[in-house]
Structure 1
Amino acid sequence: MTQPRTSSRQADFRVYLGSTLLFIYIVFSTLIVGVAILGGYFLPFPMRYKIADIWIDCLLFMLKLCCGLSYEVEGLENIPRDQAAIILSKHQSAWETVALRQFISPQTAVLKKSLLQIPFGGWALATLKPIAIDRQNQKEALKMLIDQGIERLQEGLFVVVFPEGTRVAPGAHKKFNAGGSMLAQKSGFPVIPLAHNAGEYWPRNSFLKYPGVIKVKIGPAINSIDKKSKDINAEAEAWINKAMLDIAEEGAKK
């Protein structure tokens, strides 16, 4: 892993106040929406999904209102309209675990099984067809990712995979795991690479959120048919790394 970059942003009163207000909103809104989704357990999946979408829309509105943090997306035309796909995304922050649903939908994501044990929020998440894996059992986790991933793709859901496996600080790099690319190889569905710099504004393991505009770049589809998993992974990793450099250079010019 390369050396992570240290943020030069300074936290002032507005940053502390906005982050506190957002935290309070997240706690209470998650409780309310979690109960609503659980209460609608017997409703069709699209209706439960819509309730979660409303919560995410409101959360991102509050993020902008309280913390001055928004985002812009380049490459939306690369998202397939006629089929699902596997999204291989950079993982820097908690932001992308929710915000990607605003422009890549309907979707599910590969996540830690332990997250489903969180009261209300995790319980509600369990009803939204996540691919929850146990990282302690890698062989079983890979089988679950492929089996459930193919099922979700065939249902028309985009499958979001964070191939680094954990949140990685801006400027750092962690070798991509092969799970997402193996799902692509086995399923024949395309891979869409995605890069962003959310960690610059919503740092990992940080209470504070800084004002600014998160940059998201979505790459062209990578065909997975008749390709080896390692080649799919290498192509996606190369595109994402190049896009991250482009985002950094664009930010330095401002």
Structure 2
Amino acid sequence: MTQHNSSSPKADFKAYLGSTLFYIYVVFSTPIVGLAVLSAFFLPFSVRYKIADIWINYLLYMLKLCCGLTHEVEGLENVPKGQAAIIMSKHQSAWETIALRQIISPQTAVLKKSLLQIPFGGWALATLKPIAIDRSNQKEALKMLLDQGIERLQEGLCVLIFPEGTRVAPGAYKKFNAGGAMLASKSGFPVIPLAHNAGEFWPRNSFLKYPGVIKVKIGPVISTQNKGTKEINAETEEWISQAMKKISAERD
């Protein structure tokens, strides 16, 4: 059951204007950056990654300028230095698919294969070592997640996974899928649990973005050595659940 936040932001003229300006920026900047990344196809991966990073920096700046939306991070010291890990994150919004790349880097993400077909942006994304899965074929998707996930981790990239599988509205609950925990169990790489409330300011499937401060909490690394999928998932889900309650209490 979804619990509606009583302090939901108001859809006023300023919210519509800011969201419109931000949308215009995204529409015009994406093809430019997409072409820049594609033109760097024959250069090292680090170069393409840096180009994408610059775009995301400006995107977050424009989000603040146009919509008054920023974020605060707690627990960044928990991210291991120079070690890859599986980031298991709450999924409420499109915000985290962009911003988390700047918070924990370098990383790649598990995403829908269809996203790579989007002109310019999707084409550029395809050069950044994503783990693109076809959800219509669950068996093949899991195999790709495990094979490519381990490969990316061994290359030194963190792997961002949304274990809920889809965006879930604030206050709603969806059981974690096993894929991320299975990757952690099989690879032996640790899990970084991450909670946030981005959906309260950038709701799923919404054009409007509202002013405020998104709270991001990063938990202590969860060791996966000699642990099974169920144990890893339960430990991760419990930490994220408790962190979400703290975020909610801090906002009330």
| 1:5 and 1:169 in contact (8 A); partners too | no
Aligned to 1:168: 168
Aligned to 1:12: 12
Aligned to 1:25: 25
State the identity as a percent: 77
SS in 2 for 1:216: strand
Taking only aligned residues, the RMSD between alpha carbons, in angstroms, comes to: 0.8
Query: Amino acid of the residue matched to residue 32 of structure 2?
Result: I
Structure 1: distance between partners of 2:141 and 2:119: 23
Matches within 5 A, 1:47-126: 47-126=47-126
Question: How much does 1:4 deviate?
Answer: 4.2
- For structure 2, which runs of at least 5 residues remain unmatched after alignment? none
Tell me the matched-pair count: 251
Matches within 5 A, 1:1-254: 2-5=1-4, 8-252=8-252
| 2:34 and 2:121 in contact (8 A); partners too | yes
Question: How much does 1:16 deviate?
Answer: 0.5
Query: Amino acid of the residue matched to residue 77 of structure 2?
Result: E
Structure 2: distance between partners of 1:54 and 1:9: 30
Question: How much does 1:40 deviate?
Answer: 1.0
SS in 2 for 1:136: coil
- For structure 1, which runs of at least 5 residues remain unmatched after alignment? none
CA deviation digits over 1:104-135, x for unaligned, max 9? 00000000000000000000000000000000
- TM-score by length of structure 2 reads 0.98
Structure 2: distance between partners of 1:129 and 1:59: 21
- TM-score by length of structure 1 reads 0.98
Question: How much does 1:82 deviate?
Answer: 2.8
Structure 2: distance between partners of 1:55 and 1:174: 32
| 2:8 and 2:200 in contact (8 A); partners too | no
Query: Amino acid of the residue matched to residue 4 of structure 2?
Result: R
Structure 1: distance between partners of 2:44 and 2:3: 44
Query: Amino acid of the residue matched to residue 239 of structure 1?
Result: W
Runs of 4+ with deviation above 3 angstroms: none
